[in-house]
Amino acid sequence: MIQQGQTLPAATLSELTKDGMVNHEVTELFAGKKVVLFAVPGAFTPTCSESHLPGYVVLADQLKAKGVDIIACVSVNDAFVMQAWGEAQNASEIMMLADGDGSFTKALGLEMDTAKFGGLRSQRYAMIIDNGVVTQLNVEAPKEFEVSKAETILASL
């Protein structure tokens, strides 16, 4: 699993924007920026939709006031699902990034197998990234939702 102080692996994440599909190279997207990246097991799932994403939507201005350039949500879903979920959650200040094949999540070592529920998914986590380097990594214990909350990340900035 990736650790604090390590550089993010090279990977491509997709985003469906009003201008169409954009494939972002992680190393380029986060270069020279302070980023809060949080991951959810699945778009439109209960904790993710009721608490995790909404927390970042509500606190986006406060996070950006602390010097955060990008707030991004990533999930092992396709870009169409991520775009629809972001729209449904009024997440206009959040980059909704798709890790369709789970390659980024696997490269981080933060994947989990949910078997028949959904197959390969991401563990729930949040990280602070400074110029491509992980400066804080908060991975949730199974069935927990504390350390990756927007409030927790805001307090640590």
Active site members: 48
| C-alpha to C-alpha distances, 108 to 3, 83, 86, 112, nearest whole angstrom | 9, 23, 23, 11
Give the 3-state secondary structure of 44-77: CCHHHHHHHHHHHHHHHHHHHHCCCCEEEEEECC
Query: What does the alpha-carbon distance between residue 106 and residue 94 come to, in Å, rounded to a whole number?
Result: 22
Q: Answer for the pair 9, 104: CB distance below 8 angstroms, yes or no.
A: yes
Residue 124 to residue 110: CA distance in whole angstroms: 8
Residue 38 CA: distances (Å) to CA of 20, 42, 110, 115: 23, 12, 12, 22
